[in-house]
Amino acid sequence: MNNTIISIEEKLRRLNRLQIIDSKIDEIRTLQGELPEEVQDLKDELAGLEKRVNNLKKEIDDSNTFIENNNTKIQESKTLIERYTTQMDSVKNNREYSALTKEIEMQNLEIELANKRIREAKKEIDSKASYLKESEGILDGRKNDLVEKEKELKIITAETAKQEETLIKDSETAAELVEDRLLVAYKRIRKTYRNGLAVVSVDRDSCGGCFGKIPPQRQLELKQRKKIILCEHCGRILVDRDIEEEAIV
pLDDT at 17: 95
Residue 39 buriedness (CB in 10 A; 0-12 / 13-18 / 19+):
middle
pLDDT at 4: 65
Which residue, among 188, 229, 210, 249, has the nearest Cα to 8 in the 3D structure? 229
Tell me which residues of the chain have a pLDDT lower than 70: 1-4, 247-249
Q: Distance between CA 232 and CA 214 in Å, rounded?
A: 8
- 100: amino acid identity, one letter: L
Q: Which residues have C-beta within 8 Å of that of residue 228, sequence separation ≥ 6?
A: 8, 11, 12, 182, 237
pLDDT at 249: 44
- Residue ranges and CATH numbers for the domains of the chain are 8-31+179-246 (1.10.287.1490), 33-158 (1.10.287.1490)
Strands (E), the chain: 199-203, 206-207, 229-230, 237-239
pLDDT at 1: 44
pLDDT at 2: 46
